[in-house]
Chains A and B, each alone.
Chain A
Amino acid sequence: MAGLATSFGSGAMTNSISEIGQAELLLLVGTNTTEAHPVIGYKMRQAARRGAKLIVVDPRRIELAEEADYWLRIQPGTDIPFLNGLMHIIISEGLYNKTFVEERTENFEALKETVEKYTPGYVSELTGISTPELYAVAHLYASTDKAMTFYTLGITEHVCGTNNVMSIANLAMLTGHLGRPGTGVNPIRGQNNVQGACDMGALPNVFTGYQKVIEPAAREKFEQAWGVSLSGDVGLMIPDMFERANSGEVKAMYILGENPVLTDPNSNHIRSGLDRLEFLVVQELFLTETAAYADVILPAASFAETNGTFTSTERRVQRVRKAIEPLAGKSNWQVIAELCTKMGLVVNYGSAEEIFTEMSALTPSYGGISYARINKQGIQWPCPTAEHPGTPYLHASSFTRGKGLFQAVEHIPPAELPDQEYPFLLSTGRILYHYNVTTPYSTAINSMWSEENAEISPEDATRLGLYNGETVKVTSRRGEVTTKVKVTDRVFPGMIWMSFHYEDTPTNALTSAALDPVTKTGEYKVCAVKIEKIQ
């Protein structure tokens, strides 16, 4: 989000899912769409079979690699050299969109200077992608009129995640693949309401709609609306919260529907932080690993017991409707509202709709959205007025920030790479059958997929004497877990891939503590481990 906010002024998917049907080329970088976002994956596969060109850039032989015109097996953590390499070819051969660059962007010279040294030879060495493929993909992407780029956490979960995103933005701006249907830079949001949680200001630096807490005018607006005085100091991001919990500066936490012990990198650090808190409230569906540390657990209502809205990856605000009564008798919003009132900020919401109405009045991009308008079909923000139809694609005639900003970015290697002691590269992600937290509690799903199957290459399996279904111990500098293995050429020799879904194999005990300096996102995609067979 920070990357696109810098380049374009707005940190969201620029275009819409349905435009996949119009695109002539799909460039997928670090997104295993058929597993993590299956319905979008179906549309990509349909597009490829209809004749759209498909370029898949992924270290793993993911399903869509089988459908692709080009599958580039990139070395993990070398996305910037790859993208800079494409731009090097596009600029040196004069294939870039000169009108777009001139009229719609700034800082082109800096980009040009930076990518100059990313020659195809140099890039091929770093990325493992052959030079003919680099040329072919550069030519194809630059010469196609409607090209959509998609990425997910394969781009952002790196120490250079923000730079990776800006590099993708650079490539799209350079070729003018923005501001029209069937183009754009499209991060697909992993969780159902990532976009909404960001839009709602569940972030330490902004109120709703990205209104900055450091801006006095924004503070004043919310102070007036809420009848309180507000802090202008930017708050802590999650890793800093746990840093300060460990150091004793953060004393109390309220955790709503998150299980950082299982899902955050370097989980031992999270556990010790939670342990040191004087008071912890967890509002959850289940007694999770995190809830076990709580002083008070509040039973949460599931989506089926909740009225409200989610905002999807394409900025579409859609209704969530209560089908059954909350098991524990209260909606989540009722509980937080009661706590507000009990502690002196009196709120009297009679329904979720009243909360939405208050929020949309304070949030320009949601200003024209109401429950009545989205009863049948969601609306894509920005939607500033009650007459506005919503916005399927952004940056049509100008970027949110005015001109698109090229950011000259250099290669930053992963913080931890394999060495003699920890010779394997571990990368992590999601599998089709599970979601981050709730699916292990689905009886149906869990009866089929209840344990980790780490992917290991046939070459390594042979060397280590491993067969499908055998158990190994995987150890990193931070922790160890045991897991079964699945021998497959989806991964390359020297690489092991694991999901993070299972309590019995808590993969994030292994993952790196390294963070992107801007977003403080963990480098889940690369760390070094060793593997030992358990007899």
Chain B
Amino acid sequence: MELVKLKINGKDIEAPAGSTILQAAENSGISVPRLCYYPDLSPMGQCRLCVVEVEGNALLPASCVTPISAGMVVHTESPAVIEARRIILELLLADHPQDCMTCDKMGDCRLAEYAYQYGVRDSRFVGERHNYAVDESNPFIIRDLNKCIQCGACVRACEEITGRDNLSYMYRGYNRKVTTADDVSFVNSDCVFCGQCVAVCPTGALTEKQIHGKARTWELKKVRTTCPFCGTGCNFDLCVYEGQVVGVKSSSDSVVNGRALCVKGRFGWDFINNDQRLTTPLIKRDGNFVPASWDEAINLIAERLSEIKNKYGSDSFAALSSARCTNEENYLMQKFTRGVMGTNNVDHCART
């Protein structure tokens, strides 16, 4: 691989030819602020927050779409760059609701993070503000276009990850918005509710409905696990608050799926909180299920299975294990069937 030498913030670095300035900077440990750039999506140069100063270039190019060249001298935090970023943030905030204290994105909002980092308290630009109706047409995603900064990450995620092509830009100028074909609600669109758009949205424009109002993002305990809904083996984080699972977040460092999930993995987990869950052993007495203690239930099973084994022989017993349970549970189930009941009558429904 051909390496190109350049200087960023006074530091001599080498990076593969064809890299962008942003990639070269990040590879050498220099972080560059950005709202629209994601390594797993095509670069767009939309938000302009990643602008840098390149000596000899009168403009401030967006580092996410500007390739490096030999001998380039780059400054990522020069006064001109900082001033430009402040103006960009002010322009974004000029038409952004200031309801951060009740916004579910609070704590995870990159717009807020950069406003804080660059000390942008309010905007000098005063003008008309959008007042879009919030799309709550479905149980999964809340779409509040008033908080959209038009970075296009959702458009690219929908097209480049899921391939659903459900989101695009509509209208021009001040009226430009990211929306579905014909500007209909999600539920009336081709949306398959994979939630990739939510996973990449840097602001509160797209958020998970299930988690709304339940907990602040910094209060969530995240537990990395494996999805239980098909054989792909996607990983995600279960978000736990006060002993309850309140949501799922995907993460680009998952080896199989990266940020991608489907509707079941991202939004179907709430079966675990269903109030029809069984919470106590039940024993059938006179045709009705009666609650019992674990000891009662296990003793009864041990007693009845021993009787049946003694009376009819080992092969009068059969066990169905489960392709939905863990390896450890399946291992124990066959150990119990073989080692305790003395038969090889153990199977599960997905033998093919």
Contacts and interface: CB of A to CB of B under 8 A. Distances in A.
A483 to B, nearest CB: 22
Interface stretch (A107-115, A131-139, A304-312): A304-312
Contacts of A342: 298-299, 302
Given A296-B297, A340-B339, A342-B299, A256 B325 contact: yes
Q: Chain B at the A interface: mostly helix, strand, loop or mixed?
A: mixed
Contacts of A329: 294
A302 interface: yes
Given A202-B334, A312-B233, A321-B225, A285 B305 contact: no
Contacts of B230: 36-38, 189-192, 435
A403 interface: no
Contacts of B308: 251-252, 278-279
Given A203-B346, A294-B284, A323 B326 contact: no
Interface stretch (B26-34, B68-76, B234-242): B234-242
Interface string A241-264: 100110001111111111010011
A181 interface: no
Interface residues of B, number: 107
Interface of B: 138-140, 160-163, 187, 192, 194, 209-210, 221, 223-235, 238, 240, 243-245, 255-257, 260-264, 267-272, 274, 276-284, 289, 292, 294, 297-302, 304-306, 308, 312, 314-340, 342-352
A319 B238 CA distance: 13
Contacts of B274: 286, 441-443
Interface string A314-342: 10111111111101111011011111101
A295 B283 contact: yes
B320 A255 contact: yes
Interface stretch (A73-81, A231-239, A453-461, A486-494): A231-239
A352 interface: yes
A250 B330 CA distance: 21
Contacts, number: 459
Contacts of B294: 329-330, 335, 338
Interface residues of A, number: 146
B287 to A, nearest CB: 11
In the A-B complex, list the 8 residue pairs whose CB atoms are closest, starting with the nearest: A312-B233, A189-B231, A308-B326, A235-B344, A257-B322, A38-B262, A202-B321, A313-B231
A296 B162 CA distance: 44
A251 B312 contact: yes
A254 B320 contact: yes
Nearest to A157: B352
A207 B334 contact: yes
Contacts of B256: 17-18, 39, 312, 314, 316, 378
Given A253-B319, A257-B324, A435-B264, A37 B270 contact: no
B327 A198 contact: no
A17 B323 contact: no
Given A296-B282, A339-B336, A345-B335, 15 more contacts: A46-B160, A191-B230, A191-B231, A197-B330, A199-B327, A202-B334, A213-B338, A251-B317, A256-B319, A302-B228, A307-B328, A320-B326, A443-B270, A448-B187, A516-B352
A500 B210 CA distance: 26
B305 A313 contact: no
Contact of B347 (A229, A237, A295, A318): A237
A235 B343 contact: yes
Interface in A425-445: 432-439, 441-445
Contacts of B281: 296-299, 328
Interface centre among B235, B269, B281, B344 (most CB of A within 10 A): B344
